Amino acid sequence: MLAEDRLNAIVSMVQQTGSVTVPELAEALGVTASTIRRDLQTLDRAHRIAKVHGGATSLERAHVTRDLTLNERSDLHNDDKERICARAAALVEPESFVYIDSGSTTLRLIEHLPHLEDVTYVTDSVLHAQHLAVRGMRTVVLGGELKPETEALVGPDALATLDRYNFNCGFWGSNGIATEQGFTAPDIEEAQVKRISMRHTAKRYVISDASKFGMVAPVKFADFRDATIITAGEVPAKYRAMDNVITV
């Protein structure tokens, strides 16, 4: 296949599916991952697709294209996060198996968790695991590749670990929250971890300040109705009226 034909094929796959990973493209087109990464850089510079960590997304979905680091996010919306996390922590019950997603708001949640009998916490974040351990919580960490921006663990090992678990409840962050596009994240691999962990959880909570409503990141990991949202701040009226949105 000529290089130009391959570039066109990549664009076609991205437009059809919304987002694709580097391994998926490499397998479909019969080339190496390094070749695909170079092609994605070429297409991104030409504004034909949006290159994200681990793959590519269509331009129509790329409204939030990168994760802020934890340091960049940690001081944003502090008062709102405190109220959100206090409410969310009260939902954890004794004898529970609980999932905690990576992110600045879920990190704040750990400070509010009560010491309850026989509760085990599972997280995809090395940083979160350290904070849980310091508080004396029973903690399990997923395996996988460490993503520097969010300090989250991603990849096949993380997904394989999640497939063995069933959680009573879980807490996630989301870069974007919208009724049609659902819950979204900038990173394909991290979105896969979010998607699979949600699939294995009975009671699902997205904890996020009001600034995320109406935002859309490239990769969808759940439908809007798949989780209860605990939020604070200037929540748009459209969302305040919905029965799966709790404003504190």
- In this structure, the answer to whether residues 124 and 226 fall within a common structural domain is yes
* High-pLDDT (> 90) share of the chain, %: 68
- In this structure, the answer to whether residues 227 and 149 fall within a common structural domain is yes
Q: What is the pLDDT of residue 67?
A: 55
- In this structure, the answer to whether residues 57 and 85 fall within a common structural domain is no
Residue 218: give its domain's CATH number: 3.40.50.1360
Residue 19 scores a pLDDT above 90: no
Round the average pLDDT of the chain to a whole number and report it: 90
Query: Where is average pLDDT lowest: 31-45, 57-71, 78-92, 196-210?
Result: 57-71
Distance CA 42, CA 46 (A): 6
Q: What is the pLDDT of residue 65?
A: 47
Q: What is the pLDDT of residue 113?
A: 97
- In this structure, the answer to whether residues 130 and 182 fall within a common structural domain is yes
Distance CA 134, CA 236 (A): 37
- In this structure, the answer to whether residues 12 and 100 fall within a common structural domain is no
112 vs 19, higher pLDDT: 112
Q: Which of 42, 61, 80 is the last residue of a domain?
A: 61
Q: In which order are the strands placed within the sheet that holds 55-57?
A: 19-21, 55-57, 50-52
- In this structure, the answer to whether residues 239 and 181 fall within a common structural domain is yes
Q: What is the mean pLDDT of residues 190-202?
A: 98
CB distance 216 to 61 below 8 Å: yes
Query: Where is average pLDDT lowest: 13-27, 95-109, 141-155, 195-209?
Result: 13-27
The phi, psi pair for 176, rounded to 5°, reads -135, 145
- In this structure, the answer to whether residues 129 and 218 fall within a common structural domain is yes
- In this structure, the answer to whether residues 122 and 220 fall within a common structural domain is yes
Q: What is the pLDDT of residue 60?
A: 57
Reported as a single tens digit per residue, the pLDDT across 55-97 is: 887 765 545 545 544 444 444 557 899 999 999 999 999 999 9
Q: What is the pLDDT of residue 70?
A: 47
- In this structure, the answer to whether residues 45 and 139 fall within a common structural domain is no
Counting the structural domains of the chain, the total is 2
- In this structure, the answer to whether residues 197 and 101 fall within a common structural domain is yes
The secondary structure element, H or E, covering residue 193 is: helix 188-199
Q: What is the pLDDT of residue 61?
A: 52
Q: Which domain holds residue 50?
A: 3-61
Reported as a single tens digit per residue, the pLDDT across 88-130 is: 999 999 999 999 999 999 999 999 999 999 999 999 999 999 9
